[in-house]
Amino acid sequence: MKKFTLDSCCVIELPKVTDIRGNLTFVEGGRHIPFDIKRTYYLYDVPGGAERGGHAHKELHQLIIAISGAFDIVLDDGRAKKRFHLNKSYFGLYVCPMIWREMDNFSSGAVCLVLASNYYDESDYYRKYDDFIAAATT
Ligand code: TYD
């Protein structure tokens, strides 16, 4: 199986159709991002100071976009960590499988859109950091 690390994660610039009536951005699975999209979900009404995430996925690929406002994401592959600041609706952070993520510093009114490669499946989660580290570092 392919070994996923922090180096596989990156910020992807999405197409932007600039228009004086308002800009438009689109995402095509398998073209702009390295997976087909099976699910989308979004986080909103996040209270000041709240933290989200705190888990890793075994097989899920995701693209995380600050559709509105801004927030930070810390990615961790068990060996290294990197903090990303997302604040543009035409940039998405690609997160590959086997990456622990924490999200914080949500601005007021921030909306986080997530495109995901599969349906919701609780058995795909590592919810305990120790379990993730044991799996990621062997
Ligand atoms: P979780 O993925 O832990 O959210 P976050 O990482 O943003 O903190 O999900 C929170 C809850 O929502 C959890 O009980 C599972 C549920 N959930 C679904 O039912 N379907 C979904 O697609 C997602 C992402 C979460």
Exactly one of 55, 57, 61, 85 is catalytic; which is it? 55
In a domain, 69, yes or no: yes
In a domain, 76, yes or no: yes
Burial of 130 (0-12, 13-18, 19+ CB in 10 A): exposed
Q: Over pLDDT 70: what percentage of the chain?
A: 99
Tell me, yes or no, if 32 is annotated catalytic: no
Alpha-carbon distance 31 to 17, whole Å?
17
Residue 28 belongs to domain spanning: 6-136
Q: What is the pLDDT of residue 138?
A: 82
Q: Would you say the CB of residue 120 lies under 6 angstroms from ligand 1?
A: yes
Closest ligand 1 atom to residue 55 Cα is 6
pLDDT surpassing 70 at residue 105: yes
Look up the CATH number of the domain holding residue 80.
Answer: 2.60.120.10
Q: What digits encode the pLDDT tens for the residues 15-40?
A: 999 999 999 999 999 999 999 999 99
Q: Are strands 24-25 and 81-86 parallel, antiparallel or unpaired?
A: unpaired
Identity of residue 69: G
In a domain, 98, yes or no: yes
Q: What is the pTM of this model?
A: 0.97
Distance from the CA of 41 to the center of ligand 1, in angstroms?
Answer: 9
Domain count for the chain = 1
In a domain, 80, yes or no: yes
In a domain, 1, yes or no: no
pLDDT surpassing 70 at residue 125: yes
